[in-house]
Amino acid sequence: MAPSLPVTVPELIGLGQPAAGYRSTWGVLRWIDGDVPVEGQLAAPDLLAADLAGFVRALWNIDLGGGKPADGGQPLSAFHEFTVEAIENVRGLTDTETAMAIWSQAMQLPAWEGPDVWIHADLMPGNLITRNGRLAAVIDFDSAGPGDPSRDLIAAWMLLPASARPAFRRATGVDDATWMRGRARALSLAVGHLDYYRDDLNPVMYDNAAYTIGEVFNDHVLER
């Protein structure tokens, strides 16, 4: 899919086979220079939002025919039990009543009715590479495959500020239901990360989870 995408993606230059000490295949990928963007510290959020929208639109239009379903591209209902449990687990760390209200509202949304499209499925900041504030590369396609395109909208809340989200949404061209499913997916991932990384296992992921939840809550308040 690399020739059809507007930014660099990982290039495999060596493939290792299972052996004593490591029982899986493994790869050597060409190094990609750049920076990992940090939520709340973007140099050019509007430009980055446009770049992200261009990437997902290009990816969704690629026709590779079939493929293993994306990890995370299933209907929202597939994540209901996980999300409810995670929300309960972070009681005291965030406003769980608001989180549950947003998730319950999302569960009433219509499911994706179009054909599954190829999605990256893990567009968190750590999988994005920037140079001078612009998107230069997207890495880690391990979760990629056909699925609901709303999964690729998570970057709108996990990385972008509120001021850049409207332009990102317009540029992706998604409908209201798809946008709202994307927000719910971002919330589901964030409460899961807040729970899992709460004991200093990964402060970067924990901080991003807190940021994401805050952005989702702010959008919810503006709608009321």
Give 123's contacts (C-beta < 8 A, 6+ positions apart).
52, 56, 138, 152, 154, 155, 158
Backbone angles phi, psi at 206, to 5 degrees: -65, -45
Helix axes 203-223 and 176-196, enclosed angle (nearest 10): 140
Q: What is the pLDDT along the chain (224 residues), one digit of tens a residue?
A: 999 999 999 999 999 999 988 999 999 999 999 999 999 999 999 999 999 999 999 999 998 877 889 999 999 999 999 999 999 999 999 999 999 999 999 999 999 998 889 999 999 999 999 999 999 999 999 999 999 999 999 999 999 999 999 999 999 999 999 999 999 999 999 999 999 999 888 999 999 999 999 999 999 877 76
pTM (two decimals): 0.94
Strand locations in 63-179 (E): 117-119, 128-131, 134-138, 145-147
- Domains of the chain and CATH, by start: 2-223 (3.90.1200.10)
